[in-house]
Amino acid sequence: MQAGSQLSVEKKLKLTLVQGLIHELAQLLEAQKQASASVLCEIAKVAGDTSVRSVVIPEGIASLQKDDPAIIRIRLREQDVRHKRLCSSDSGSFAWRFKPVTQEYDGVTSESS
């Protein structure tokens, strides 16, 4: 009987831990949503061969500002799975706003790119 009682206590502790993690995840996802609300790109007039891509820079934009311009050009032209083409044109205009994709984690709704 004591083993069953101990398992019940362990189960309740794990459930409490999971509920706390779900709550923390919900808070982090909401913070991400608010932080990304102002992420946008707008080009009023495209002139010449123009390509617009999203870029993931884990170190932040400040890391680009420290680099030599030639290195920046190379990094911005890299093509891999972290870069998503948003537009490629030689005329017109372009406007893009970050819109998170909704995902669900056991009852916790999140939005991410």
Whether 60 and 90 map to the same domain: the answer is yes
Q: What residue numbers bound the domain in which 113 lies?
A: 1-39+98-113
Same domain, 87 and 74: yes
**Domain count across the chain:** 2
Regarding whether 104 and 84 lie in a shared domain, the answer is no
Q: Are residue 17 and residue 30 in the same domain, yes or no? A: yes
- CA–CA separation, 112 and 36 (whole Å): 9
pLDDT digits over 4-51, tens only? 787 788 899 999 999 999 999 888 888 878 877 777 778 888 888 887
Its pTM surpasses 0.85? no
49 and 35 assigned to the same domain: no
Backbone φ and ψ for 88, nearest 5 degrees, come out as: -145, 115
